[in-house]
Amino acid sequence: MVIFGCIRFLQLLTLDRSPLQIAFGITFGMLLGVIPVTTLHWLCLLGCLFIVRMNLLAALLSAACFGLLSWILQSPIEELGYWTLTAHKSLLPIWARAYHAPILPFTAFNYSSVMGGTLIAAACFVPLLLLSQILVRKWSAPLHTFWLSTRIQRAYTHYRRMTH
C-alpha cells in the first residue's frame, strides 16, 4: 500500500508533463538548489514553483541534484560572490544603493555565498531551460515507455483494475 501511495503521489507530481513544463521544472529546481535557502528571492521562487504550472517531480529531483552540486562547489561559489561584491569599485554605488533600499537587503545579496549562488543560477537559467527542453523532447517518450514496462508500474496498473 505504501508503494502504491508513493506511486500515486508521484503521478500527482507529474501532472504537468509537457516538454516545456518539465524543462521549467528542471530549471526552477536548479534555481532552488543553487540559491541559498532563507533568502527572499528563494522564497519567491518557491512560491512561483507552486503557482506556475510546471513539473514538480522534475523540480524536486533537479533541486536535490543541484543542491548537492552547489554544496560540493561551495568554496568557489563563495569566492565568486566575494569577488563580485568587492573587486569592482564601479559597482560600489549599485551595491550601496541596493543595501540601503527597502526589501532588497532581505535577499541577503551582500553575503558572498548568496551572491555567488544567485549569479551562477541566473547565468545557467536560459541555457539549462533550452538544453533540458531538447533533452526532454528526445528522451521523454523512451523513458515513459521504459517506466510503463517496469514491474512496479505493471503491478500498480493491476491494482487499479482490481480496486475499481
Partner 1 sequence: MLNAHIRPRGVLFFIVGLLSCYVYGRFVFDAQVKFWLEKELSLLNGARVTIGELNTNLLRGELLLTNVEFGNPISPMRNTFEVGQINAQINVSPLFRKKLHISNMNVEKIRHWTQRQTPGTFDDQDFNRILPAALMDRASTGIYSGIRNELTDNPLRHLGQLGSGFTLPSRLGKFADKLSSVKHLKKILSELSEQELVWEKKKTELPSPAAVEGLKTRLFKTDSRRKMLSAQPELTPREELSNHILNIKLNLNQLQQLSQNVETEMKSTDHLLQKDISVVRRELGIPDTQHSDITNMIFGPSWLGLLEKLSYWIDFSRQQSPVGIIADSYGMTVMSRKGQRSVHFGKVGALPSFLLSHVTFTSGNSAQPDEITINGTCDNLSSDPVLLRLPTHLSFKADYPEKGFRNLVINAVIDHTGEVPKETLNVSIDAFKLTEWPVTQTPDVQITIAKALAGLELTGKSEGNKIDFQWNISLADTEYEIRSRFRQIEQSLGNMLAGLYSFDVQGAIRGGMDSLQFESQSGLGKRLAEGLKTEFRHEFGALDDAILQETKNLLPPIQESIAVRLRKLREETIPAFENTLKVLIPLETGSPATVPQTSSHPS
Name the amino acid, one letter, at 99. Y
Query: Least distance to partner 1 from the beta carbon of 137, Å?
Result: 20
Query: Least distance to partner 1 from the beta carbon of 44, Å?
Result: 10
Query: Least distance to partner 1 from the beta carbon of 81, Å?
Result: 8
Cell of 34: 543553487
Q: Which of 13, 122, 117, 6 is nearest to 58 (CA)?
A: 13
Q: Which is nearer to partner 1, 77 or 128 (CB)?
A: 77
Does residue 130 touch partner 1 according to CB under 8 A? no
The contacts of residue 72 (CB under 8 Å, 6+ apart) are none
Q: Which of 4, 111, 125, 159 binds partner 1 (CB under 8 A)?
A: 111
Q: Which is nearer to partner 1, 90 or 145 (CB)?
A: 90
Does residue 51 touch partner 1 according to CB under 8 A? yes
Cα–Cα distance for residue pair 47/64, rounded to 1 Å = 18
Contacting range for partner 1; rule: CB under 8 A; set: 27-35, 82-90, 126-134, 146-154 = 82-90
The contacts of residue 80 (CB under 8 Å, 6+ apart) are 115, 116, 119, 120
Residue 31, helix vs strand vs coil: helix
Q: Which is nearer to partner 1, 115 or 121 (CB)?
A: 115
Q: What is the largest CA-CA distance in the chain?
A: 70
Phi/psi region, residue 103 (left: phi>0; alpha: psi -120 to 50; beta: rest), is left
Does residue 52 touch partner 1 according to CB under 8 A? yes
Cell of 38: 532563507
Does residue 133 touch partner 1 according to CB under 8 A? no
Q: Which is nearer to partner 1, 84 or 140 (CB)?
A: 84
Provide the binding-site residues for partner 1, judged by CB under 8 A: 47, 50-53, 78, 82, 85-86, 89, 92-93, 95-96, 98-103, 105-106, 108, 110-113
